[in-house]
């Protein structure tokens, strides 16, 4: 993606360096535009080193030429301004075009994100808020400012959002909302089956795949409910996402059944324990007391039960982690549990559980399709692309 990064004056300008670096490392082509005051805080040479592109301050300067503001406005796919000062917000709201940044802003027609930074009193001033309202009416998305300690030593709302937060907001802004209107239930992680207060039956699943699917699905417009095992760190709170943490397979099924009504898509990424102890000791069991055996009993089949009780037409997707006979096992699971698709993934040393590496195939009634890439994030994207193509009526 081609991104224009606008940088206004203020001590927070130094954080724009990290943002430029992050965007560039993610493979984006970044062109930085600075106000004259911004160059007093950070050298344009710093941004040139980080992005590999020349930095513009005034209209017509070399090597850009007199129509450079027109070219950049048509060149960019997205525009982000971080930090934006109170002065810059006023000039943008008034339609001024007296430097490179404001001129490109005025001519740019794509998605725009602004991250303000200023003293709390300046941010709270009615004129600043009126300028923000004008820009929002023009379709500009704002991120921040945040509460905290300012460079002046004062505390309040006025700090620039962190570069990672701005980057996430930009991704949200520019991601197509092809899953809008869909409600999705995702199970994630492993379950823990206690046989005494200090020992459990479990597996190495981390819940990474479920988290990646949930994060991407929300960005693409879906409403997502996640039911995750106890070892999974929840995603940060965001609109369109609800998160439940459970411990055992029985708890996961019970909570998922509460969330199930009205769901359009169910994705069972959780590695649910097949067995649980037939009895649970209330105190720690010592080796001498039990020897080497402990009776177990089967757990409920979470994805099978959800498929049986889901609304008609719900798109049901399971996961099958296998070491051998991967495709054959996934096909049997798809048919036996009445699923629409199964993601068959290989697990072993360095791939699958506990790693980002992934080797997977999408198994459906139409056949077997290798999933692109070798990372779980790519698998998540490919699976949601398939969901978008096969989405049930919302």
Q: Kindly list the catalytic residues.
A: 203
Q: Does 143 appear as a known binding residue?
A: no
Q: Does 227 appear as a known binding residue?
A: no
Full DSSP string of 281-300: -SSPPPHHHHTT---EEEPP
Contact (Cβ atoms closer than 8 angstroms) between residue 6 and residue 84: yes
Q: Does 302 appear as a known binding residue?
A: yes
Integer angstrom CA distances of residue 4 from 81, 87, 97, 131, 188? 8, 19, 16, 22, 37
Sequence-ordered list of residues with C-beta below 8 angstroms from that of 361, at least 6 positions apart, any chain? 326, 327, 330, 343, 344, 345, 368, 369, 370, 371
Q: Does 177 appear as a known binding residue?
A: no
C-alpha to C-alpha distance for 145 and 134, rounded to whole angstroms: 17
Q: Does 41 appear as a known binding residue?
A: no
Q: Find the radius of gyration of the CA atoms of the chain.
A: 26
**Directed axis angle between helix 86-93 and helix 100-107, to 10°?**
40
C-alpha to C-alpha distance for 17 and 51, rounded to whole angstroms: 10
Q: What is the dihedral of CA 245, 247, 251, 257, to 10 degrees?
A: 30
C-alpha to C-alpha distance for 178 and 394, rounded to whole angstroms: 12
Q: Does 317 appear as a known binding residue?
A: no
Integer angstrom CA distances of residue 294 from 248, 271, 285, 320? 18, 22, 11, 27
Q: Does 337 appear as a known binding residue?
A: yes
Q: Does 366 appear as a known binding residue?
A: no
Integer angstrom CA distances of residue 103 from 43, 76, 114, 384? 21, 13, 15, 38
Q: Does 279 appear as a known binding residue?
A: no
Q: Residue positions in the annotated binding site?
A: 274, 284, 300-303, 319, 333, 337
Q: Residue positions in the annotated binding site for CTP?
A: 274, 284, 300-303, 319, 333, 337
């Amino acid at each position: 993606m081609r991104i224009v990064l606008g940088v206004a004056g203020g001590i927070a300008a130094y954080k724009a360096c990290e943002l430029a670096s992050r965007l560039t490392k993610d493979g984006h082509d970044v062109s930085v535009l600075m106000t004259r005051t911004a160059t007093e805080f950070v050298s344009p040479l710093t941004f040139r080193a980080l992005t590999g592109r020349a930095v513009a301050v005034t209209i017509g300067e070399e090597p850009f030429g007199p129509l450079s503001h027109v070219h950049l406005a048509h060149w960019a796919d997205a525009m982000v301004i971080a930090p934006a000062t109170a002065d810059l917000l006023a000039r943008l709201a008034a339609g001024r075009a007296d430097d490179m940044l404001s001129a490109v802003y005025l001519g740019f027609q794509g998605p725009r994100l602004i991250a303000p930074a200023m003293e709390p009193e300046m941010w709270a001033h009615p004129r600043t808020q009126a300028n923000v309202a004008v820009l929002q009416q023009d379709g500009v998305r704002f991120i921040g400012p945040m509460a905290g300690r300012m460079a002046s030593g004062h505390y309040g709302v006025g700090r620039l959002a962190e570069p990672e937060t701005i980057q996430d907001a930009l991704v949200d802004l520019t991601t197509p909302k092809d899953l809008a209107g869909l409600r999705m239930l995702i199970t994630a992680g492993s379950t823990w089956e206690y046989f005494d207060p200090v020992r459990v039956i479990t597996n190495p699943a981390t819940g990474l795949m479920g988290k990646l699917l949930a994060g991407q699905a929300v960005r693409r417009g879906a409403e997502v409910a996640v039911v995750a095992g106890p070892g999974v760190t929840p995603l940060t709170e965001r609109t369109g996402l609800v998160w439940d943490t459970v411990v055992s397979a029985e708890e996961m099924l019970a909570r998922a059944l509460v969330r199930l009504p009205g769901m359009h898509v169910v994705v069972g990424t959780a590695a649910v324990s097949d067995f649980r102890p037939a009895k649970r000791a209330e105190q720690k069991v010592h080796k001498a007391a039990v020897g080497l055996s402990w009776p177990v009993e089967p757990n409920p089949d979470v994805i099978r039960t959800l498929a049986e009780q889901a609304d008609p037409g719900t798109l049901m997707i399971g996961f099958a982690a296998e070491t051998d006979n991967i495709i054959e096992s996934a096909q049997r699971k798809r048919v036996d549990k009445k699923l629409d698709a199964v993601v068959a993934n290989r697990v072993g040393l360095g791939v699958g559980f506990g790693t980002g590496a992934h080797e997977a195939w999408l198994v459906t009634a139409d056949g077997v399709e290798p999933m692109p890439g070798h990372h779980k994030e790519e698998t998540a994207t490919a699976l949601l692309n398939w969901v978008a193509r096969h989405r049930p009526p919302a």
